[in-house]
Amino acid sequence: MRAFGYDLDDLVVAHVLLALIPVILGLLIALPLGWWAHRSAGARRVLVPLSGALYTVPSLALIVFIPVILGTPILSPVNVGLTLTIYTVALLVRSVAEALDAVPENVTTAALAVGYRPSGLFFGVQLPLAVPVLTAGLRVASVSAFSLVTVGALVGIQSLGTLMTDGFQQDYTAMVVTGIVGSVLLAFLFDALWLALGRTLTPWSRARTGV
């Protein structure tokens, strides 16, 4: 679909990829870090405040400085992707640690006692049981990424944010509104998706009273 001189489908796809890939990458990076923070009090004392501090760095500053540090082209979408990955990690390290903390100790003890090895314990018992708390964290990170992706438009990285920056320059309100509504809808859509995924993965958590 074309509008305002842009192919909207392309903008939507770019927007989704630019937000979704960092969310998934960030989760994959946050899992081992959060596990480490869960295991070691020392690691937690460093990782949790550090990731909290990372989140306070302004996104535009990161997007501009990453090419300076890594030597990536200034117009590369990687700069935005990397920025959002960092934010996702910053948000999720604490979530992962807390999600793992929430797994009852007698369950992990029982798992070890019946002969799980550490990897089996993590993937077979701890991670599935961490899903409810983890989903909550992931939803926050996802909404945050879907809205921050628009900042990339300021340095010329295409997304629905482009409609906002261009619309603003052309004093074209409908264009700006389309950008805003579109990115909000996408954020909602993926939020619902994580929610549904979390529920599908945890049929046991709703069975409490269903005797």
Partner 1 sequence: MIEFRDVGKRFADGTVGLEALSMTAREGEITVLVGPSGCGKTTSLRTVNRMVEPTSGAVYLDGRDVSRGDPADLRRGIGYVIQQAGLFPHRRVIDNVATVPVLKGLSRREARARAAEVLERVGLDGALAQRWPAQLSGGQQQRVGVARALAGDAPVLLMDEPFSAVDPVVRVELQDELLRLQADLGKTILFVTHDIDEAIRLGDRVAVLRVGGRLAQFAPPDELLAAPVDDFVSGFVGRDRGYRRLGFVPATALRLVDLPTRADANGDSPDSTDRAVPGEWTVLLDGSERPAAWLGPDGARHELGSVYVTDGDDAAADAAGTLRGALDAALSSPAGRGVAVDGAGRYRGGVDTDAVLALLDRSSPS
Distance of closest approach, residue 208 Cβ to partner 1, in angstroms? 5
Query: Quick check: 109 binds partner 1 (CB under 8 A)?
Result: yes
**Residue 17: burial class (beta carbons within 10 Å; 0-12, 13-18, 19+):** middle
Handedness of CA 69, 88, 26, 80 (dihedral sign): negative
200 touches partner 1 by CB under 8 A: no
Residue with token string 């501090």: 53
136: contact with partner 1 by CB under 8 A = no
The reply to whether 41 sits near partner 1 by the rule CB under 8 A is no
Task: Give the whole-angstrom CA distance, residue 127 versus residue 111.
Answer: 13
Q: Does 1 bind partner 1 (CB under 8 A)?
A: no
Question: Does 113 help bind partner 1 (rule: CB under 8 A)?
Answer: yes
**Applying CB under 8 A, which of residues 11, 62, 100, 129 lies at the interface with partner 1?**
129
The answer to whether 115 contacts partner 1 (rule: CB under 8 A) is: yes
Whose tokens are 């997007």? That residue is: 63
Q: Does 111 bind partner 1 (CB under 8 A)?
A: yes
Count CA atoms within 13 Å of residue 55 on its CB side.
Answer: 18
Count, residues near partner 1 per rule CB under 8 A: 24
Q: Which of 139, 169, 142 is nearest to 153 (CA)?
A: 169
Binding residues for partner 1 (CB under 8 A):
104, 106-107, 109-117, 120, 125, 128-129, 202-205, 207-208, 210-211
